[in-house]
């Protein structure tokens, strides 16, 4: 597994939709890029000017919604992940 640094977050993206709302199976080229995923690791937080660390606002295991083209896509041990800045995460789902 990978451990992000500072205010970075590692997210495992949700699977892209296989079918449209009308039940039509979508080819890979027509699938929407996922904007939702599960947090698998978080960094220690950004270092502030006074030397203290800002606490992270997300935790491992939470499902988050993030910027469509935010982050860097990586593959580790055959699994796809996105490494995001904390401010690229817009919301946490219950």
pLDDT in tens, 29-59: 555 566 899 999 999 999 999 999 999 999 9
pLDDT in tens, 7-19: 999 999 987 555 5
Phi, psi of 75 (to 5 degrees): -120, 125
CB contact set of 51 (below 8 Å; sequence gap of 6+): none
**Cα–Cα distance measured from residue 19 to residue 40, given in angstroms and rounded to the nearest whole number:** 27
Q: pLDDT band for 1, please (50, 70, 90 cuts).
A: confident
- Name the token pair of 30: 């027509």
């Amino acid at each position: 597994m990978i451990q992000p640094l500072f205010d970075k977050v590692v997210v495992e993206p949700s699977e892209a939709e296989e079918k449209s709302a009308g039940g039509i199976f979508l080819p890979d080229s027509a699938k929407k890029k996922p904007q939702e995923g599960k947090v698998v690791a978080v960094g220690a937080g950004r270092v502030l000017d006074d030397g203290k660390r800002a606490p992270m606002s997300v935790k491992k295991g939470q499902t988050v919604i993030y910027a469509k083209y935010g982050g860097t896509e990586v593959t580790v041990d055959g699994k796809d992940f996105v490494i995001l800045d904390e401010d690229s995460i817009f919301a946490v789902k219950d």
